[in-house]
C-alpha cells in the first residue's frame, strides 16, 4: 500500500484529503454518506465570535463550471459551536481544523484562538482572513480591503494569534489579489504553519429578465472547476516562495484534478463545491490517489509533491 501520510505543522494526517470550510457543515451533515474517520481532516464552517445570520437570500447560483455563493459566514458563534457542534466532531477520530474569522475586528481572532487553544480535540486553527462575503451591504463598504489583501495586515493578524496558541496554525488566502505570494510570505514570517489556498474569487451574475443580480448581495464568491486553473497557478507560484506546506483547493472534483495540485506543490488538498454534487467525493478521491500511486509504482504521495517537470 502506498504511504499517504503527510504532516502539517504538528498535525499528522493519515491521508492528505480534507473537506473544505463551508462546504461540509460541521461534518454531521455528511455522516450518512461516508465514514468520516477515513478523511485526512475536516475543516469546519467558519466560526465567528458572535452568531451570524449570513447574507439575505438568494445566496447561491450556478455559473458555467461553478457556482457563486454569498453565504456570509452564517454560523452559531463560538459558544454555540462549542456546545452544539463540537461534541459530534470530537467523537469522529479525524483531525478537526476549526476555521475562524472576523473581518471587522481583528482582535476577535485572538479571543477565538485563545478559546480553541484549550480544547485538546481540536487539532488546528484555520484563519479565514479571505472571506469575500462578510463586509457591509453598502456598495461603498466593499471597497474596504480584506485582511488577506494586505501583507502587513496578514502579518499582524497571524502574529497576534501565534502568540496565544501552540496549535497548528493555517492561514487561508484570497485569490483576489495582485500577487498572492506576498501574502503567503507574510503569513509564513508571522508563524503560520501552513497556508490554505484558494478561497473564492469575487464574481457576479445577472438575470437578464429581471435585470437583477442573481444573488442578493450582488457579488459573491466563485468556486468549482471554473477556478481550478487559477488556483493551480497560485499554488505553483506560492510553492516556489515559501517552505511551509500548502493546502490546496479550488475546483477539485476528481482524482486527476486532485493530483494536479500535488504535482504543483501541495502537501494536502481540500474539496469544496464538489461535495454538493457528490457527497462521497472525498472518499472516492482518496481511493483514486491510492490507485494512481500503485499503478505508477510510487511508494509515497510525497514523491509527487512539487514534481512538476518544466
Ligand X SMILES: Cc1cc2nc3c(=O)[nH]c(=O)nc-3n(C[C@H](O)[C@H](O)[C@H](O)COP(=O)(O)O)c2cc1C
Residues serving a catalytic function are 131
Task: Kindly provide the b/e burial profile for residues 32-64, where b requires at least 16 CB atoms within 10 angstroms of the residue's own CB.
Answer: eebebeebbbbbbbbbbbeebeebeebbbbebe
Q: Which of 15, 48, 192, 199 binds ligand X (CB under 6 A)?
A: 199
Q: Tell me if residue 68 falls in helix, strand or coil.
A: strand
Site for ligand X in 76-135 (CB under 6 A): 99, 128, 131
We find the least distance from the C-beta atom of residue 238 to ligand X, in angstroms, to be 14
Do 55 and 199 contact (CB within 8 A), yes or no? no
Report residue 115 as a C-alpha cell.
478559546
Report residue 205 as a C-alpha cell.
451574475
Asked if 272 interacts with ligand X (CB under 6 A), we say: yes
Asked if 251 interacts with ligand X (CB under 6 A), we say: yes
Choice between 55 and 273, CB closer to ligand X? 273
Kindly give the pairing relationship between strand 96-100 and strand 41-43.
parallel
Asked if 167 interacts with ligand X (CB under 6 A), we say: no
Choice between 4 and 175, CB closer to ligand X? 175
Asked if 16 interacts with ligand X (CB under 6 A), we say: no
Asked if 227 interacts with ligand X (CB under 6 A), we say: yes
Asked if 252 interacts with ligand X (CB under 6 A), we say: yes
Choice between 3 and 187, CB closer to ligand X? 187
Compute the distance between CA of residue 195 and CA of residue 266 in angstroms, rounded to an integer.
10
Q: Which of 172, 185, 187, 268 binds ligand X (CB under 6 A)?
A: 172
We find the least distance from the C-beta atom of residue 197 to ligand X, in angstroms, to be 8
We find the least distance from the C-beta atom of residue 18 to ligand X, in angstroms, to be 10
Asked if 21 interacts with ligand X (CB under 6 A), we say: yes
Q: Which residues contact 208 (CB under 8 A, 6 or more apart)?
A: none
Q: Tell me if residue 223 falls in helix, strand or coil.
A: strand
Choice between 8 and 140, CB closer to ligand X? 8
Q: Which of 15, 48, 55, 69 binds ligand X (CB under 6 A)?
A: 69
- Cβ-based neighbour number of residue 146 at 10 Å: 23
Which residues are bridge partners to 96 per DSSP?
42, 122
Of 147, 152, 150, 39, the closest CA to residue 89 belongs to: 39
Burial class (CB in 10 A: 0-12, 13-18, 19+), 304: middle
We find the least distance from the C-beta atom of residue 128 to ligand X, in angstroms, to be 4
Choice between 151 and 273, CB closer to ligand X? 273
Do 83 and 290 contact (CB within 8 A), yes or no? no
Which positions touch ligand X (CB under 6 A)? 20-23, 45-46, 69, 71, 73, 99, 128, 131, 172, 199-200, 223-224, 227, 249-252, 271-274
Amino acid at each position: 500500500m502506498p504511504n499517504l501520510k503527510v504532516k502539517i505543522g504538528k498535525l499528522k494526517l493519515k491521508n492528505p484529503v480534507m473537506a473544505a470550510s463551508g462546504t461540509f457543515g460541521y461534518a454531521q451533515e455528511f455522516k450518512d454518506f461516508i465514514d468520516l474517520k477515513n478523511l485526512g481532516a475536516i475543516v469546519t464552517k467558519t466560526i465567528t465570535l458572535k452568531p451570524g445570520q449570513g447574507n439575505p437570500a438568494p445566496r447561491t447560483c450556478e455559473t458555467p463550471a461553478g457556482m457563486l455563493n454569498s453565504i456570509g459566514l452564517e454560523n452559531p458563534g463560538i459558544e454555540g459551536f462549542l456546545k452544539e457542534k463540537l461534541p459530534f466532531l470530537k467523537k469522529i477520530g479525524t483531525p478537526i481544523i476549526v476555521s475562524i474569522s472576523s473581518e471587522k475586528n481583528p482582535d476577535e481572532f485572538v479571543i477565538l484562538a485563545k478559546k480553541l487553544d484549550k480544547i485538546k480535540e481540536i487539532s488546528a486553527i484555520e484563519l479565514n482572513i479571505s472571506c469575500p462575503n462578510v463586509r457591509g451591504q453598502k456598495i461603498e463598504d466593499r471597497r474596504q480591503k480584506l485582511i488577506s489583501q494586505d501583507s502587513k495586515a496578514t502579518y499582524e493578524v497571524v502574529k497576534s494569534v501565534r502568540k496565544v496558541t501552540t496549535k497548528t496554525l493555517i492561514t487561508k488566502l484570497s485569490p483576489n489579489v495582485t500577487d498572492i505570494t506576498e501574502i503567503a510570505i507574510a503569513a509564513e514570517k508571522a508563524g503560520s504553519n501552513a497556508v490554505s489556498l484558494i478561497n473564492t474569487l469575487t464574481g457576479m451574475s445577472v438575470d437578464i429578465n429581471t435585470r437583477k443580480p442573481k444573488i442578493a448581495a450582488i457579488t459573491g464568491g466563485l468556486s468549482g472547476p471554473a477556478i481550478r486553473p487559477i488556483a493551480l497557478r497560485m499554488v505553483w507560484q506560492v510553492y516556489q516562495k515559501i517552505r511551509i506546506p500548502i493546502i490546496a483547493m479550488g475546483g477539485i472534483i476528481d482524482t486527476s484534478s486532485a493530483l494536479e495540485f500535488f504535482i504543483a506543490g501541495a502537501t494536502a488538498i481540500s474539496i469544496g463545491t464538489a461535495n454538493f454534487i457528490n457527497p462521497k467525493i472525498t472518499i472516492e478521491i482518496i481511493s483514486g490517489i491510492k490507485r494512481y500511486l500503485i499503478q505508477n509504482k510510487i511508494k509515497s504521495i510525497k514523491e509527487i509533491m512539487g514534481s512538476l517537470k518544466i
